[in-house]
Every structure is written in structure tokens, then in C-alpha cells.
Amino acid sequence: MQGKIVVEEHFAIPETLADSRGLWSEETWSELRTRILDIHDRRLREMDQHGIEMMVLSLNAPAIQTMWDVGQADETARKANDYLAAQGRKRPDRFQGLAALPMQDPEMAARELTRCVKELGLKGALVNGFSQVRNAETVTYYDTPDYWSFWETVEQLAVPFYLHPRHPLKRDAGIYEGHAWLYGPRWAFGQEAAVHALRLMGSGLFDKFPGLTIVLGHLGEGLPYGIWRVDNANGWVPNRQNYPARKKISDYFYTNFYITTSGAFHTQTLLAAMLELGADRILFSIDWPFEDIADGAIWFDNASISASDRMKIGRTNAARLFGLDLA
């Protein structure tokens, strides 16, 4: 398929590059470093080779969310966003962007998002999970009333908010002790992001701001396949579902969430997601540079779905959701 759009594709600036270093071997890190710093060279060539018309770019993880000094978080987010906007202006037909935000301070995050949308032309925000605030051991999630003024701004701007995963803090990751292979995209990322998303759904946030749109990667971080049980477990027990939200959790998932295929190139899982959410709420993505463009594009072009669903997932859903100006 030609004209594909991908929406969870990352870049780094010098201040955040080390966050992608991880435990890669020197050989792998050399390759990954080259990929994540490049925008207009190899990245563009691979897009052309595999029928990708546009990438919606976002800062690598966890980056801003680890900067518990609020001033540093704000300064680095602004620098990353200015850089991203400048790169997009070079080729607006190929690259658009999502803002990084200093979520350690809801008012500061709202101001930066407003600047990015209204002045820089960015298409929304991508935030790497919870933020550390005031010190390295204090974390904040975004379902509390402290953040509702921020969410009001997001709704008013009418842009999507992409909730991207990150590792849990070491103190909260005892279950992974001695099993480092479960970290990252293999399991820990998805679990962390799914719980954060469920907290948002159960908080009453979407009752107060029904126009919000949240995007989850990796075919929904497992939620399309577990959301039924969240609503129905022990359904015979009176008052079992005791949370502030007014509706079933799945009602918010179906209404306020989109999911992407980033790093999840498996047709059976895609079909299950389509049955749960519908093709109108799924977006094609790669997760470059951490996944290969060729792997994702070849899989998607040959997946056993209809031509109309391929067009929706591969192009038109993203164009509509992010307000992309396509030829």
C-alpha cells in the first residue's frame, strides 16, 4: 500500500539520547543511535522504499518524564519541541510532530502544549507515562484532579494525547527481579501503560471531558483482550465496580481511545483488536527506530484484512485524527 502514515516514530536530541541506550550491545547501540538521530536521510529513504508518505514524530522515552526538576523538564521539552517543529518545516509533506510535555507541572504542561499546537503547528502530544516530580522517587500519574485543568486544555485544543510506556521505577519492579528479559516492550512497558490508561478511565476524567482522545501503542497494550474481564469479573458481587467514573470502563475505551500497531506486527492480534474496537479506531505505526520499517510495512501490506480497512488503518484514520494536510 502506498501513502501509509505512521504515528509512533521517535527521534532524540543530545539531552535525551542516553535514555535510549539501555542494555544494548555496543554493536546494536551504534545502529540504534544512528537511526534515532537521523530524520532526513536514511529514515526518509526507508519510508520511500516501503510506501510510507508521512511520519508523525515524537521524542524518545522516557526523556522529559524522568526530569524531576520541573525547570529542567520544561526547558528540555521546549528545546525538543522547537527542534521537532524546525525539522517538520523542512518537509511538512513527510514529517509532522507530537509535543513532549513537562507533566511534572500541569499548568506548565498545558502552556507548552498550547504553544506547540498554536505556534509550532504540532498535532498533539506524546508523553512517556508517569512523571518523576520533586525527586527521583516521587511519581505522579495523570488521573488525579490536580491534572484536570491540563485535560481541559487538551480538550479545548482538540488534539490527541498519546500515552507511551516507560519502565516502572526499580522500587516498584520487584516482580521482574532476576528476569531482565521481561523489561521494556516484551512485557513491562505494556503492563505499566495499561494500568495508567485504566486509571484514566476509572477516574471520571472522561465524564468531565468527554471530548478527550487518548492513543495507546502496541495494539492497545493488551487492553482490547482484557477489557471485558475488567468490566465483568465477579459481576454477581454487589457494588464490585467501585470507581468514580459513571460508566463501564469499556465504554470509555470504545469512545475515547485509539490504538496503533507500533511494534505489534501480528495479524491474528490485529483482527482481534478490530473485532473489539473496529477498524476506525486503529492506526498503523512502526515504532522506528526500535523496530524495522521493513518488518512493519511488509507485514501490514500483506495482512489478511480488506482493502477498505487497510486504507483506514494505514492512512485515513491518522489523517482525520491528527488533522494532517495531505495532497
Catalytic residues: 287
In sign, the C-alpha dihedral spanning 74, 78, 84, 85 is: positive
Query: Measured between alpha carbons, how far is residue 114 from residues 104, 107, 203 in Å?
Result: 16, 11, 24
Local structure of 85: helix, strand or coil? helix
- The most distant pair of C-alpha atoms in the chain lies apart, rounded to whole Å, by 59
Hunting for cell 544494548 — which residue is that? 24
Q: Who's near 175: CB < 8 A, 6+ residues apart?
A: none
What residue type is 74 in one-letter code?
Answer: D
Hunting for cell 520487584 — which residue is that? 174
Torsion angles phi and psi, residue 10, rounded to 5 = -110, 155
Strands 257-260 and 282-283 come out as parallel
